[in-house]
Amino acid sequence: MSAAYVLAAVRTPGGKAKKGKLKDVRPDDLAALAIRALLDRSGIDPRDVEDVLLGCAFPEGEAGMNVGRIAAMKAGLPHEVPGQTVNRFCASGLQTIATAAERILAGGADCVIAGGTESMSLIPMGGQKFSANPGLAGAWPEAYASMGITAEIVARKHQVSRADQDAFAAESHRRAAAAQETGRFGDELVPVAVETAALVGGKLRKRTETLAADEGVRRDTSPEALARLKPAFQVDGTVTAGNSSQMTDGAAAALVVSEAFLARTGLQPLGRFVSFAVKGVPPEQMGIGPVEAIPAALKRAGVARGDVAAFELNEAFAAQALACVRALDLDPARVNPLGGAIALGHPLGCTGAKLTATLLHELRRSGGRYGVVSMCIGGGMGAAAVFERS
């Protein structure tokens, strides 16, 4: 059995949903930009791409009509290259990478683009027309629990205090700000040029602005400032807008290839895909999904937890991220060393591919051998993948 490698991985900056520079940019256009940058930076022949797998948590509206195929065509790939849209909510972008790698491991492909895209500005949480299944809602109402309420449940069950959540959130911003200032996101980022138009003095004026850095990082925040925010989901709760992930627009893409492809092209990959696991948990406690998924992925990989140099653990909420860190006895210094979704954003179906890009580039800089990408998933699941630096 051959191995599967990530040859290149890129992402757009995260735009603040409904407020930032990407609020009017279509998710298919963001994905096409990431795919095009991936091809340009890797230098491969687009005709070598055998498929495009694109994750999206709410594939409708501007992200509808099989956004994977639309983005592939918009990126300029030949019409012979097919496309598919994949939905596993928050793990969609990681699922595409795992699926691409598994196809390669099975001998079914040599070169696949995998990634994710989401516009939380244009397509709301829950989609344009939320419609719960009445039978399931009646028999198992927790299946449709609000994400914020699930975080409150996890905070109470795992005794994660408000002070601890706010301290964790402030640290996420501090690390992200330090990473921005030292240029540690430079290799993974794809700037987005956004054209706007406005009537000025009766004349149409066009202007192009470029988003080159994640918009959500707050350099001036602190636990004290965060402590002043009111609970967002429950009157007597501890989960606030400040210790939750930010609603974000963005896209990311990775080039997953075989050993044979590397031998033929002579290109050097970022890392090797080692293993993937996805597990179910009670839907009302969806935030603990990584507690089940990470050990399963590490067991499949034959890698000890102490040998993992960095964990990119999606910070859906500080409450659930801290609960996972404590339950798994992870070294906090190795978890999200460049900050997490509380500062950098969580563009849902894009996030898994986004975190993979961050992890692999950071492993290359730090010299760490193994890294893990993991996240909780709406509906009560967790996913994790193990990568090895090349």
pLDDT at 205: 87
Per-residue CA distances from 353 to 10, 27, 37, 126, 376 (Å): 8, 15, 14, 21, 14
Q: Which of 90, 111, 324, 350 is catalytic?
A: 90
Contact indicator for 253, 42 with CB cutoff of 8 Å: no
| The pair of three-digit structure tokens given for residue 87, joined into one six-digit string | 């939905």
Dihedral, CA of residue 377, residue 368, residue 388 and residue 90, to nearest 10? 10
> What SS3 class is residue 370?
strand
Q: Which of 111, 346, 350, 361 is catalytic?
A: 346
Residue range(s) defining the domain that contains residue 328: 4-124+245-389
- Among this protein's residues, is 361 annotated catalytic? no
Q: Please report whether residue 64 resides in a domain.
A: yes
Contact indicator for 303, 386 with CB cutoff of 8 Å: yes
Q: What sign does the CA torsion over 355, 356, 360, 361 have? A: negative
Q: Please report whether residue 189 resides in a domain.
A: no
pLDDT at 1: 58
Contact indicator for 267, 7 with CB cutoff of 8 Å: yes
Q: How far apart are CA 347 and CA 116, in angstroms?
A: 9
- Among this protein's residues, is 376 annotated catalytic? yes
pLDDT at 201: 83
CATH of the domain at 250: 3.40.47.10
User: Can you list the residues of the chain whose pLDDT is less than 70?
Assistant: 1
Q: Please report whether residue 284 resides in a domain.
A: yes
- Among this protein's residues, is 173 annotated catalytic? no
pLDDT at 2: 81
Q: How far apart are CA 20 and CA 347, in angstroms?
A: 13
CA proximity to 146, closest of 239, 55, 60, 29: 239
Q: How far apart are CA 151 and CA 171, in angstroms?
A: 19
Using one digit for the tens of pLDDT, what is the confidence trace for 63-120?
999 999 999 999 999 999 999 999 999 999 999 999 999 999 999 999 999 999 999 9
pLDDT at 302: 98
Q: Which of 56, 111, 350, 376 is catalytic?
A: 376
Contact indicator for 374, 296 with CB cutoff of 8 Å: no
Q: Which residues, 6 or more positions from 266, have their beta carbon under 8 angstroms from its beta carbon?
A: none
Q: Please report whether residue 200 resides in a domain.
A: no
Q: How many independent structural domains does the chain possess? A: 1
Q: How far apart are CA 334 and CA 266, in angstroms?
A: 32
Angle between helices 318-328 and 289-301 (to 10 degrees): 40
Q: How far apart are CA 232 and CA 244, in angstroms?
A: 9
Q: Please report whether residue 220 resides in a domain.
A: no
Q: Please report whether residue 27 resides in a domain.
A: yes
pTM, whole model, 2 decimals? 0.97
Q: Please report whether residue 213 resides in a domain.
A: no
Q: Please report whether residue 97 resides in a domain.
A: yes
